[in-house]
Amino acid sequence: MNKKHLYLIAIVLMVSYSLYIAYSMYNKPHKIISEQAVDYRVSVDEMIKSFNNDEANANARFIDKVIVLEGTLKSIVASENPLSIVMLEGENGQANCEFSNDDLNLSIHQSLGSKVFIKGLFIGYDDLLGELQLKKCTIISSDFKH
Partner 1 sequence: MKKSIVTIFILLVVSNVLFAQQKYFTRSGTISFFSKTPVENIEAVNHQTSCILDTQTGEVAVSAQMKGFEFEKALMQEHFNENYVESHKFPKATFKGEVVGFSSLTFSDETPNTVEVKGMLSIHGVDKQIKTSGTVSKVKDNYMAQAKFNVSPDDFDIKIPKAVINNISKEIEVSINLQLEPYAQ
Q: Which residues bind partner 1 (CB under 8 A)?
A: 25-31, 59-60, 63-64, 77, 79-80, 83, 85, 96, 98, 121, 123-124, 126-129, 131, 133, 135
Please report how close the Cβ of residue 6 comes to partner 1 at its closest, in angstroms. 33
Please report how close the Cβ of residue 27 comes to partner 1 at its closest, in angstroms. 7
Residue placing its CB nearer to partner 1 in the complex, 34 or 59: 59
CA max distance for the chain: 78
Which of 63-98 are b and which e, b meaning 16 or more Cβ less than 10 Å from the residue's Cβ?
eeebbbbbbbbbebeeeeeebbbbbbbbeebbbbbb
Residue placing its CB nearer to partner 1 in the complex, 49 or 135: 135
Residue placing its CB nearer to partner 1 in the complex, 10 or 112: 112
Residue placing its CB nearer to partner 1 in the complex, 102 or 143: 102
Give dist(CA 69, CA 63) in Å, integer. Answer: 14
Q: How many residues does the chain have?
A: 146
Closest CA to 90 of 72, 107, 75: 72
